[in-house]
Amino acid sequence: MCLFVCTCVYAQTSKTNPPKITEKAAPRLLEAKRATKPVKIDGLLDEEAWKDASLATDYIEFRPAVGVKEAEESKTVSYLMYTDEGIYFGGFCYERTKDSIARELKGRDGFGMNDYIGIIFDTYKDNLNGFEYFVTPLNEQWDAKMAPNNDGNSEDFSWNAVWKSAVVMHDNGWSFEMFIPYGAIRFGKKEVQEWGVNMTRRRQKTGQQFTWNPIDPNVNGFLTQEGYWTGITNIKPPVRLQFSPYFSVYGNHFPINQTGTKNLTGQVNGGLDVKYGLNQAFTLDATLIPDFGQVQSDNQVLNLSPFEVQFNEYRNFFTEGTELFSKGGLFYSRRIGGTPIHYGQAANQLSSSEKLLKNPSESKLINASKISGRTQSGLGIGILNAVTKTQYATIEDINTKDQRKFVTDPLTNYNIIVLNQSMKNNSSVSLINTNVTRSGADYDANVTAGLFDLNDKKNTWNVGGKFAVSQLMGYLPGGKNENGYSHQLYFGKTSGRFNFNVWQELTDTKYTHRDLGYFTNNNFLDHGLWMGYKWIEPKNWYNRIFLNVNGRVSKLFTPIAAVKETYQTGNVNFNAEIQTKKLWWVGMFMGYTTKQNDFYEPRKTGLFFTRNQSFALGGWVNSNQAKKYSFWSEIFARRHFDFYDMFGVDATVNQTYRFNSKFSVTHKLGYYPRFNNMGFTTIANNDVIFAKRKVNTVENVLNVKYSFTNMMWITYRMRHYVSTVDNKAYYTLQQTGKLQPNNTFNGNVNQNANFFNIDMVYTWQFAPGSFLNVVWKNSIFTFNRTIERDYFKNFGNTLDADQNNNISLKVIYFLDYLDMKKWGKKK
């Protein structure tokens, strides 16, 4: 405590503007110091060891201002040292008063409206892959892996490691201590090592972010602008062997009300997650008899499109440390344990005296494992394997009560292998293979892709691409294979105020990666252009301005059947976004789409639907999120200029109120009406029937969070989604892509769908990496052909419908081999 008392007494307060760094300096160097005396992680830094640690101070602002030194009254003083067991990082974040510190309890990896301090290590110095560790003023932890991926966001916060931290609040700031064991990081095998390193601090109420080594937002990449931690000697990774056994109990109630079938059922599960360090750089993760019953409910929707809905992944095993497997966009983890491939065929197997008694909508995962890591030469290797058991539908004879089974999904093995070689200048090349092997007569699938992403020495110019081939083995009659091809190419400028990217994407008529990836359609040749310009130096009334222009043209790669038309669509849009001095974001969007030939909406090969040109306009506003009350709102409208007079609106309002650092409420309201919407309805007498319809969709989501401590909290999420399809007139689709009025079709194909879910979760982290979760899940689904225009009546009818209630308790206990070894020695 003495160290910071003295520092506080002699600290000076400066009211003048801090100086600005105008010239790019060489990367900062920090000499590694080995701690020789013990340290207690209590947030105080009062041990003698800290006096000999390496000092990292003089942080530089990079957001919203660029290159400005920290003000004296809010400066950051940090220290770094290491031992044979791990890394110590501690320091003091000064503030004028305690009220200047933004703090909110949000749970593990929950950002919230928090100040934070963090350290980032690039242990392989490849400027591509890193490890991040953050702590907030209320001692909540975040951690992430940094690696390039498809959406441009290189931070994977689903990755979790076990490490220690402590924080103490003071009248003039907050102090922190972190200990990161070597088991929570990956590095190569060298006697003397040099790592890339940076530290970053966020002051939420002022919107400022600082780093130890200066960051220029005009330069592509964060790790490309790191400093260096030099002279790390004789560190060896420990035995990394960790177990997370679990035990869970479920009770489920649904009013089936059938003789011989219970409304109330129960289930007891047990399983094990294992993490084993194969060597200093590679890790094996395995889950045996996994249980994912407590994950958040999916946001189900009424899907009127010709393509499947893509859902988020909430299962920990498939979100943690999967950045290698995301390369190339070939992996959609929801395929594993997803809908059986013959799920929709079960009903077709019924005779006139049979009924479908049971048809599970998900396959059962038996086990899954993955190996990932990176060699000292920068070669990243990832292998993922998962097995799902045979899934059956149960069919019962109405008269005799005899039952038989129909295979909806065979025993299936899913496999991914990824090789990713890091190169100079933030560049890389990759090879990825995905494979699905099914037992029995069902076809197998294989996709192989090569990727490259290359930058020049100044990290200004970028070129890259992907070449992929797919094989469906045994898919064609006679057991023959179907082979397909796809590629993507792009070139652009990635640094400076002005950036651009030109690209081409092609798939032939037979390419697909749907068996282990999310895939909508093939047979297209697309060309596109993106241009962007930014002002990131704060001026009189704004902090930042971003302008973007996008353009795209799409056509069929190969004509379909006898259809001569190959043009699909073309569009161009412009958007602008501004951050004001008050930390509000304001944006606008304008877009124009040419005449479209939609080859997918008809659901029948050889036909297409022609939509006329359309114009879209929209805007959004995001208030200062550091305030107790904050909101974001957006509205978009699109108008088609044709005789159908199609018009649609997307309007969303999201509001958050934080009562204090423990309690917050967020509500989202979405309203998405479509007027005179023209779309596929059904196929009757071999004719494709379209309808002019009013589609009305409303979504309400309520989130409530209360934290008892930083280790114990409760969340409540309620979602109601209602979508109605009111058909006004029917049409027959012609070979020309136009619609002809159909006055003979009289089927009732109106739709009224309601999805209602509650996810209420109590979480107690009773030890590092160990959790007790109690979850209540309520779900209701209703569907009928009667349109109820009154939202509240619709909502009331939904609550009156049969409900599925599920209550579960799950205990996960984290065991580390090194800790067990220490316990053994003590005994």
Q: Is residue 307 part of a domain?
A: no
Range of the domain at 182: 2-233
DSSP of 674-733, one letter per residue?
EEEEEEEEEEETTEEEEEEEEEEEEEEEEEEEEEEETTEEEEEEEEEEEEEEEEEEEEEE
Answer whether residue 398 is part of any domain. no
Is 695 in contact with 681 (CB distance < 8 Å)? no
| CA distances to 229, 234, 324, 372 from 193, in Å | 9, 8, 25, 22
Which amino acid, 427?
S
* Strand 29-31, strand 227-233: pairing: parallel
Let me know if residue 483 belongs to a domain. no
**217 within a domain of the structure (yes/no):** yes
The pLDDT value recorded for residue 513 is 98
Q: Which residues of 153-180 are buried (b: 16+ CB within 10 A; e: fewer)?
A: ebbbbbbbbbbebbbbebebbbbbbbbb
**pLDDT computed for residue 153 by the predictor:** 52
Distance CA 151, CA 708 (A): 36
Tokens describing residue 240: 């990394």
Which residue ranges in the chain fall short of pLDDT 50? Answer: 1-17, 151
**What stretches of 398-523 adopt beta strand conformation (E)?**
403-409, 412-423, 427-438, 444-455, 461-476, 480-493, 498-507
pLDDT score recorded for residue 111: 83
Q: In this predicted structure, what is the pLDDT of residue 2?
A: 36
Question: Is residue 763 in some structural domain?
Answer: no
Give a yes or no: residue 136 inside a domain. yes
Q: 28 Cβ partners below 8 Å, 6+ apart?
A: 212, 213, 227, 228
Q: Tell me what pLDDT residue 15 has.
A: 37
Q: How many domains does the chain have?
A: 1
Residue at 147 is within a domain: yes
pLDDT tens digits, one per residue of 35-65: 989 999 999 999 999 999 999 999 999 999 9
Q: Which residues, including other chains, have CB under 8 Å from residue 809's CB and lie 6 or more apart? A: 248, 249, 772, 773, 774, 775
pLDDT at 24: 65
What is the distance between the alpha carbons of residues 244 and 555, in angstroms, rounded to a whole number? 51
Identify the CATH number of the domain in which residue 227 sits.
Answer: 2.60.40.1190
Query: Residue 46: inside a domain, yes or no?
Result: yes
pLDDT score at 149: 63
pTM: 0.91
